[in-house]
Amino acid sequence: MKKSTFPTPQDAEAAFYEALESADLEAMMEVWAEDEEIVCVHPGGPRFAGFEQVRGSWAQILGSGRKLKVQLSNPVVLSGMMLAIHSVHENITVEGESRPRGAVAATNVYLRTGKGWRMILHHGSPTPVEARAPADSPKILH
């Protein structure tokens, strides 16, 4: 049974990223709906569906021993009475690494339940490195 109540989707999202940064599996799973229809896709990975698969995927990530710091940017939020969709860029730094990793484009979907808002989908995709033209190349307008 879930102990935490998240009054808003933003509260659930804050708890999600706090759990990720603190590598706290129990806190992470408090955010998720306890449902077989939940889905999680980590960048470059397979799709995990259902509470046990999602929990297993997070157990592996959070148990890796790597400490993550996540800065969110470029939020786009769509909210309704029962469903909220948040699209963000996750700018991730791994403790001990000299340079930040590339941004992850993440979509987080939250459902309003009888016990507050819960995550039902997290989908992360690596963002492409922006192609840069050499400084001396001519600029062509189409």
**27: nearest Cα among 35, 39, 17, 36:** 17
What does the pLDDT profile of the chain (142 residues) look like in tens digits? 567 899 999 999 999 999 999 999 999 999 999 999 999 999 999 999 999 999 999 999 999 988 999 999 999 999 999 999 999 999 999 988 877 778 999 999 999 999 899 999 999 999 886 533 444 545 444 4
Predicted TM-score (pTM) of the model is 0.86
Structural domains in the chain, CATH included, are: 9-33+46-103+117-126 (3.10.450.50)
pLDDT at 129: 67
pLDDT at 2: 65
**92: nearest Cα among 72, 107, 65:** 72
Q: What is the residue type of 97? A: E
Query: In angstroms, what CA-CA distances link 58 with 52, 53, 116, 127?
Result: 10, 9, 22, 21
CA 142 to the chain's CA centroid:
37
**Pairing between β-strand 47-49 and β-strand 83-94 as defined by DSSP bridges:** unpaired
* SS3 label, residue 60: helix
pLDDT at 125: 96
pLDDT at 111: 98
pLDDT at 34: 92
